[in-house]
């Protein structure tokens, strides 16, 4: 009981500091107002060498926890990108905590049509977003907590960040999670967190998810793929069995976990996984509730529009082809098996063809060429060809 009282006391002091510290608020305001975003914006501070940054003692590095007040996936991706592009992180490390409405987020180099059924997502009102980092597809909803660690590239340490999260889980709930060889966080052999990173110069960020009480049925349905053959060189996700934290401890909830992770971050030195306790907590810049608007982050609206655009979400898709087997009836009710093939370039239909065994592909003339690709469009093409059992078509195919 004594330990519990001490922990609450420390948190109360830190919360008072975070809300009342004028230095924390003025620092954020100054950086936000002086580091306006544009396509040519350069980092505001003189870049130090990797060696010089590594020489900075932990005592000279301050930390902030930013809690986004937006639940819009595109706004939060824009905020993440804005901080990465504009903040001077040399002596200031940041943890951003954010929660999205239902959405599927794919990696920068992924094919959305290989990871989910885009048409089904649209029908169900679930956003499809593409982030700026690599890695695989993930499902977000209010039962999933997102964490982004910002630091100079020279101080990037993925295992430090993930271990910090496992320490918070153990300190707050007694949950003994572990790191996998793929830098996922696993619990009882099942994945509770995926991870990805953006490494640039001079800044870097590492972000991950934490499944707290996510809707598993919606998660599975949202990441279900269309039943077609897709040939693509895009990065493919690696499916893993998952678990929610509430599956092992019913008392876990998003807001309490958010607080626990934030305090763990603030009480831990910049490079050492030791406990700085109350003394270190009181030196940090504390918690900041962030309203991601142009007033505080000039140009963030433009960034959001870019993340929400069709050109970014779909136009960045690596070229791919889609095939599906159909049956075509000919004279005498004999059925011929063939494949409908659609080649897609920058998410636009480039060519439609029919493929028979031991035959060259037969081009199909269609006004669908040049249109945006999606699953409903493809199945419409397949159905139209399946029903086009004309004499001219059979003669062209040699049936």
More confident residue, 24 or 338: 338
pLDDT at 326: 87
pLDDT at 385: 85
Residue 39's CB is within 10 A of a number of other CB atoms, namely 7
Report the DSSP beta bridge partners of residue 193: 185
- 211 with 242: CB under 8 angstroms? yes
Nearest to 75 by CA among 290, 304, 309: 304
List of residues 6+ apart from 40 with CB closer than 8 A: none
Confidence of residue 336 (pLDDT cuts 50, 70, 90): confident
List of residues 6+ apart from 284 with CB closer than 8 A: 14, 17, 62, 63, 64, 266
Residue 136's CB is within 10 A of a number of other CB atoms, namely 19
Sign of the CA dihedral with 291 first, then 77, 215, and 172 last = negative
Asked which of 274-283, 336-345, 353-362, 390-399 is least confident by mean pLDDT, the reply is 390-399
pLDDT tens per residue, range 356-390: 887 788 899 899 999 999 999 999 999 888 776 54
What pTM did the predictor assign? 0.87
pLDDT at 384: 87
As a residue count, the chain comes to: 399
């Amino acid at each position: 009981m004594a330990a519990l009282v001490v922990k609450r006391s420390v948190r109360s002091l830190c919360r008072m500091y975070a809300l009342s510290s004028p230095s924390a608020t003025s620092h954020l305001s100054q950086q936000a107002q002086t580091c306006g975003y544009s396509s040519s914006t350069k980092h505001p501070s003189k870049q130090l060498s990797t060696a010089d940054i590594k020489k900075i003692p932990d005592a000279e590095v301050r930390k902030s926890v930013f809690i986004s007040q937006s639940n819009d996936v595109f706004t939060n991706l824009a905020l993440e990108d804005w901080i990465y592009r504009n903040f001077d992180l040399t002596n200031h490390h940041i943890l951003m905590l954010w929660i999205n409405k239902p959405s599927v987020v794919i990696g920068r180099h992924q094919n959305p049509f290989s990871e989910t059924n885009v048409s089904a997502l649209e029908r169900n009102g679930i956003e499809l977003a593409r982030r700026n980092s690599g890695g695989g597809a993930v499902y977000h909803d209010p039962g999933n907590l997102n964490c982004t660690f910002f630091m100079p590239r020279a101080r990037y340490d993925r295992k430090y960040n993930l271990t910090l999260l496992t320490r918070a889980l153990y300190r707050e709930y007694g949950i003994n999670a572990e790191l996998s060889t793929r830098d996922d966080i696993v619990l009882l052999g099942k994945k509770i967190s995926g991870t990805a990173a953006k490494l640039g110069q001079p800044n870097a960020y590492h972000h991950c998810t934490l499944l707290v009480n996510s809707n598993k049925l919606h998660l599975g349905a949202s990441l279900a793929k269309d039943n077609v053959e897709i040939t693509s060189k895009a990065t493919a996700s690696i499916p893993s069995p998952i678990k929610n934290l509430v599956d092992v401890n019913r008392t876990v909830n998003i807001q309490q976990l958010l607080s626990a992770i934030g305090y763990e971050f603030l009480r831990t030195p910049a490079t050492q996984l030791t406990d700085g306790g109350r003394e270190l907590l009181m030196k940090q810049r504390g918690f900041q509730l962030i309203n991601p608007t142009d007033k505080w982050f000039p140009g963030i609206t433009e960034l959001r529009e870019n993340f929400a655009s069709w050109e970014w979400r779909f136009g960045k898709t690596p070229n791919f082809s889609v095939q599906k087997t159909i049956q075509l009836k000919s004279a005498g009710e004999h059925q011929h098996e063939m494949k409908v093939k659609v080649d897609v370039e920058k998410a636009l239909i480039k060519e439609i063809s029919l493929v028979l065994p031991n035959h060259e592909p037969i081009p199909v003339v269609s006004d669908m060429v040049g249109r945006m690709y999606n699953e409903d469009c493809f199945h419409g093409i397949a159905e139209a060809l399946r029903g086009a059992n004309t004499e001219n078509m059979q003669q062209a195919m040699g049936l």
